[in-house]
Amino acid sequence: MKFFSDNAATVHPRVWAAMAAADAPDHGYDGDALSRRLDAAFFDLFGQPATALWVATGTAANCLALAAMVPPWGGVVCHREAHIETDEGGAPGFYTHGAKLILAEGDAAKLTPDTITAAIAPIRDDVHRVQPHAISITQATEYGRVYTPDEVTAIGALAQARDLWLHMDGARFANAVAHLGCHPAAITVDAGVDALSFGMVKNGGMGAEAIVLFGEARETAMVDSIHRMRKRAGHLQSKGRYLAAQILALLDGDLWLENARAANQAAAELAAAAGERLIHPVESDEVFLVVDPAEAAALRAAGFDFYDWNPPAGAPGAVRLVTAWNSNPDHVAALARAIAAL
């Protein structure tokens, strides 16, 4: 009974079916019929013109977007616990040719206009200081917290006022939308987001994520440069139709939202059982609990697999539980009972 990561989940049958349907000769790279449908599919979803590219991983999606937004001598404001800062093996430094991540604070890895301003206001505008060119926020955050439309809009307004691009790392974008029950545009294009890494792999896909550019971003040289950088990074797969098929399958009939709702629901069930142990409110598919080592061992002895996590100050220990689109309801119920019984 695995609660390690949504990354480990299997591929949704409708994604498999779409990949199989793509198994006919077509133009290589992104010249095939499916890849050429991506822009329209995201336009339909967001209700605004969009330019979309597939890539294999969230790291590539994030870093290509950032590299298109910031020159090598510039900086990107992000939370000091953002995935791009802590878990991508230095990929932003590689893709941006050494641009700086300017670290900001915020509860549960959420930035606010105030914390962003605190990070950038002291940066004197001269050549000795790296200037910010973009802000990157994670939706849902690394602790499963969700930015509301108002919160994103406030950051978008700050970005606009400071002439900064706004990127959203949406590895769990679907979970955030499912939680909020809002239109996906309300936390992206309508809120000032210029580029979105729309996560698919954690949500029923196999190896395809989408970079989606909106508004001004898609009307600039950024579109050309991001295509060239994708090739230059070895991410322009020659059989791109199999990636496009995955993305289109997840968009079709809002399968992406259905999958995310299922994962969120499983996490909510665990959260309900956890009560006071919860470290963060559960708003997506991640559940962080205070659990001491003996309790963690007991859960593992009962057949539940999960990762330990850095506990909050003073807590005896903590764990992270992650559900997925296909979490087994019996396993979830069993884990909920086991937690409640600790």
Least Cβ distance, residue 195 to a copy of itself (angstroms): 15
Helices 255-274 and 173-180: angle between axes, nearest 10 degrees: 70
Q: How far apart are the first and last CA of the chain?
A: 18
8 binds a copy of itself (CB under 8 A): yes
Q: Which of residues 239-298 bind a copy of itself (CB under 8 A)?
A: 239, 242-243
- Single out the residue of 94, 115, 117, 153 in contact with a copy of itself (rule: CB under 8 A): 94
Quickly tell me which residue has 């590895």 as its tokens: 171
* Rounded Cα gap, residues 11 and 16, in angstroms: 7
314 binds a copy of itself (CB under 8 A): no
Widest CA span in the chain: 59
Strands 50-55 and 209-214: antiparallel
Is residue 291 within 8 A of residue 317, CB to CB? The reply is: yes
* Rounded Cα gap, residues 8 and 132, in angstroms: 35
Least Cβ distance, residue 259 to a copy of itself (angstroms): 15
Choose the stretch contacting a copy of itself; rule: CB under 8 A; options: 83-91, 175-183, 210-218, 264-272. Answer: 83-91
128 binds a copy of itself (CB under 8 A): yes
81 binds a copy of itself (CB under 8 A): no
Q: Which of residues 198-217 bind a copy of itself (CB under 8 A)?
A: 201-202, 206-207
Tokens, residue 304:
């539940």
Q: Which is nearer to a copy of itself, 17 or 341 (CB)?
A: 17
Q: Which is nearer to a copy of itself, 58 or 144 (CB)?
A: 58
Half-sphere exposure of 84 (CA within 13 A, CB side): 36
Least Cβ distance, residue 210 to a copy of itself (angstroms): 14
Q: Which is nearer to a copy of itself, 219 or 308 (CB)?
A: 308
